[in-house]
């Protein structure tokens, strides 16, 4: 399946798709999108790259096992939920910066929670697909 066209295209598609996935992640609070879909799109980007260039290439590109994204994401989601505790609010109360940031928009604890979901979904999907394709 590693044709020249696909291989060349995938090198350009990977960053585009990743940026797209982040776009989807960030717009999730106002428009269709969010961490779950964003994570799936990012995972698809890597899988496409792996199809074109072989699994080892993608792994080298990643430098670390995608499984490590799972604890990182879980921790991020957990601590974003925990953060209101420090300002005497209940667990998982939404906290927001008063002014919106340029490009990103409003930033709050829910965004970090969503980033956590995003990372976990990438980690889970890639771990499962990489493991299965290695053993198939």
Partner 1 sequence: MLTAILLGFLFALFLVFTGKFFRGKMAILSALIPAGLFAYFASFIPKISSGEIISRTYQWVPAFGVDLSFKLDGLSLLFSLMITGIGFLVFAYTASYLRGHKYLDRFYGYLSLFMAAMLGLVLSDNLISMFVFWELTSISSFFLIGFNNTNPASRKSALTALGITGFGGFSLLAGALLLGSISGTYSISEMLSMKEAIAGSEYYILAVVFIFVAAFTKSAQFPFHFWLPGAMKAPTPVSTYLHSATMVKAGIYLLMRFTPVLGDQEFWNTTLIIVGGVTMVYSAVHALFRTDLKGVLAYSTISALGILVFLIGLGSKDAFLAASVFIIVHALYKATLFLVTGIIDHQTGTRDVTKLAGLRKIMMPVAIAGILAAISSAGIPPTVGFLGKELTYEASLHAEAFTVVIVVAIVLTKILLLWAGFVAGIKPFTGKLSEEYTNVKAPDFLMWGPAIILAVLGLIFGIFPMIIESALVKPVVSALGADASEYHLALWHGFNTVLLLSAITIAVGVLLYFLVKPSVKLENKIGKLEFISPKSILEKGTHYFNVFSAFWTNVFQNGYLRNYVTTIVLFLVVLVSYIMFGSSRVVIDHTQLSQVTAYELVVALILIAGVFYTVFTKSRLAAVAAMGVVGLAICLIFVFYSAPDLAMTQFSIDTLTVILFVLVLYRLPKYLTLSDYKMRIRDGVLSAALGTVICLLALQVLAEPTNSEVGDFYAKNAYIMAKGKNVVNVILVDFRGIDTFMEISVLAIAAIGVFGLLKLRLKSTDRSQ
* Residue carrying the six token digits 């928009």: 105
Is 29 an interacting residue with respect to partner 1 (CB under 8 A)? Answer: yes
> With the C-alpha atoms ordered 112, 115, 121, 123, is the resulting torsion angle positive or negative?
negative
Is 36 an interacting residue with respect to partner 1 (CB under 8 A)? Answer: yes
Structural contact between residues 24 and 41, judged by C-beta atoms closer than 8 angstroms: yes
Cα(62)–Cα(75) distance, integer angstroms: 20
Q: Specify the length of the chain in residues.
A: 136
> Whose Cβ is closer to partner 1: residue 14's or residue 110's?
110
Residues 6+ apart with CB under 8 A from 27: 33
With CB under 8 A as the contact rule, the residue among 3, 5, 32, 86 that binds partner 1 is 32
Per-residue contact track with partner 1, 100 to 119, x per CB under 8 A?
Answer: ------x-x-x--xx-xx--
SS3 109: helix
Give the interface segment with partner 1, choosing from 2-10, 11-19, 35-43, 56-64 (CB under 8 A).
35-43
- Dihedral, CA atoms, 107, 111, 33, 37, nearest 10 degrees? 150
Is 44 an interacting residue with respect to partner 1 (CB under 8 A)? Answer: yes
* Residue carrying the six token digits 């260039």: 53
Is 46 an interacting residue with respect to partner 1 (CB under 8 A)? Answer: no
Give the interface segment with partner 1, choosing from 7-15, 56-64, 65-73 (CB under 8 A).
65-73
Which residues are near partner 1 by CB under 8 A? Answer: 24, 28-37, 40-41, 43-44, 47, 51, 67, 70-71, 73-74, 77-78, 81, 92, 94, 96, 106, 108, 110, 113-114, 116-117, 120-121, 123-125, 127-129, 131-136
């Amino acid at each position: 399946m590693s044709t020249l066209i696909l291989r060349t295209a995938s090198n350009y598609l990977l960053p585009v798709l990743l940026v797209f996935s982040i776009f989807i992640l960030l717009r999730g609070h106002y428009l269709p999108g969010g961490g779950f879909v964003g994570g799936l799109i990012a995972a698809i980007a890597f899988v496409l790259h792996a199809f074109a260039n072989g699994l080892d290439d993608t792994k080298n590109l990643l430098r670390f096992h995608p499984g490590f994204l799972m604890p990182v994401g879980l921790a991020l989601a957990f601590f974003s939920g925990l953060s209101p505790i420090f300002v005497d609010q209940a667990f998982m109360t939404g906290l927001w910066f008063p002014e919106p940031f340029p490009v990103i928009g409003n930033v709050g604890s829910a965004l970090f929670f969503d980033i956590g979901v995003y990372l976990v979904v990438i980690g889970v999907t890639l771990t499962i697909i990489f493991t299965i394709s290695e053993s198939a």
